[in-house]
Amino acid sequence: MSIETNLNTSLTPDVCMICGTRNVSNAMQCIECFAPMSIVRDAIAQDRDPKLISVVGESNVGKTVFLGVLLDMLAQRAGDFQAIPKGAYSVDLQQTVISHLAHRMFPPKTPMEANQWYWAYYQVLSRQSEQWVDLVMPDMAGESLAAEVANPETFRVIHNLINKSQGLLMLVDAAMAAQGSTQPDFFAMKMLSYIDSISRTRRDSAVEVPIAIVLCKADHCPECFDDPEAFVEANLNRLWNLCENRFERISYFAASVVGSLGYAYNEAEDYVTPVPLHTALTGILEPFDWILRNLKPEMVA
């Protein structure tokens, strides 16, 4: 059996790009971490190593909605970007999110099991830099992230994904923070200290991976659009201090997907569901644009 090697990519067919496990040829998903094996094959066909960008944040913060809408904007040539999905699997997340929003619903919660996550592999051209970048962006479940952060290395796929990420978008629930809840502040702190510990950066130097802190659901507290950093300093002060002390490349953004929300009450089951009456995308591209301009040059082995 001969192993194909390539000049411009360090990838090998049938070896998972995320965890390095060798799989049987033509496997659909990695047996170890469930990443779609087509990512490796597509990347080898492109003859370029893809870069990994992860969207992190606790459950219900809005990761799936944000990523789905972002991919859809890129595919429609929003801003300075042009993007091409590599493989039909890359379109599934954006299709799910957009078709739910078109029916005035939010998409369902992401299951904890990694074999059910959506992955997107896009070739993105930034017209400003005139460079194509290949990006892999998985949609992780907030509960799995929380489980891994609480007990590091129990959820290997998350450990590998964060370790290999060349840029991170950390979503924080601005609406909860504005109401005085300390939960988003504590969760974001835990997440960042986890990233700090796996980056194995020495005490006297700061973590290099670029992290965009994105204040989500900013439609509930529009003041965060004016000055996202000031909002974080005032309402998520623990997070702000940690960013200042330990991280080299941090930037703050505010984002919202909905223009107006309604609420539907289910009498039989006694619960209220938010209904996105119309979508108004604000601040979605900016953090992505910043990450692309600040990507860490090499993957951490």
Among 12, 21, 29, 59, binds ligand GTP (CB under 6 A): 59
Based on the shown chain and the rule CB under 5 A, indicate whether residue 32 belongs to the binding site for Zn ion.
yes
Stretch that binds Zn ion, among 17-25, 47-55, 226-234, 293-301 (CB under 5 A): 17-25
The stretch among 38-46, 56-64, 225-233, 286-294 that binds ligand GTP (CB under 6 A) is 56-64
Bridge partners (DSSP) of residue 126 are 81, 131
Residue 160 in contact with Mg ion, rule: CB under 5 A: no
Site residue total, ligand GTP (CB under 6 A): 23
At 94, the amino acid letter reads: Q
185: contact with ligand GTP by CB under 6 A: no
Q: Given CA atoms 181, 182, 188, 190 in this order, what sign does their dihedral have?
A: negative
18 interacts with, out of Zn ion, ligand GTP, Mg ion, none, CB within 5 to 8 A per kind: Zn ion
Residue 18 interacts with Zn ion (CB under 5 A)? Answer: yes
* Residue 39 is a binding residue for Zn ion (CB under 5 A): no
Task: Tell me the DSSP string of 196-231.
Answer: HHHTT--TTS-B-S-EEEEEE-GGG-THHHH-HHHH
Q: Which does 16 bind (CB under 5 to 8 A by kind): Zn ion, ligand GTP, Mg ion, none?
A: Zn ion
Tell me which of ligand GTP, Mg ion, Zn ion, none is bound by residue 38, counting a contact when its beta carbon lies within the kind-specific cut-off of 5 to 8 angstroms: none
* H or E element in which residue 139 lies: none
Q: Which helix (H) or strand (E) holds 28?
A: none
Residue 89 in 3-state DSSP? helix
Beta carbon nearer to ligand GTP, 185 or 219: 219
Can you tell me the distance from the alpha carbon of 6 to that of 19, in angstroms, rounded to the nearest whole number?
Answer: 20
CA distance 58 to 140: 10
Helices (H) and strands (E) in the chain, counts: 11, 9
Asked whether 132 and 25 are in contact (CB, 8 A), the reply is no
C-beta separation of 36 from 89 below 8 A: yes
| Footprint (CB under 5 A) of Mg ion, residues 75-134 | 110
Q: Are 254 and 174 in contact (CB under 8 A)?
A: yes
Task: Select the span of 44-52, 70-78, 185-193, 254-262 touching ligand GTP (CB under 6 A).
Answer: 254-262
Q: Which residues bind Mg ion (CB under 5 A)?
A: 63-64, 110
Q: Which residues bind ligand GTP (CB under 6 A)?
A: 57, 59-65, 106-107, 109-110, 141-142, 216-217, 219-220, 256-258, 261, 274
Q: Which residues bind Zn ion (CB under 5 A)?
A: 16, 18-19, 21, 30, 32-33, 35
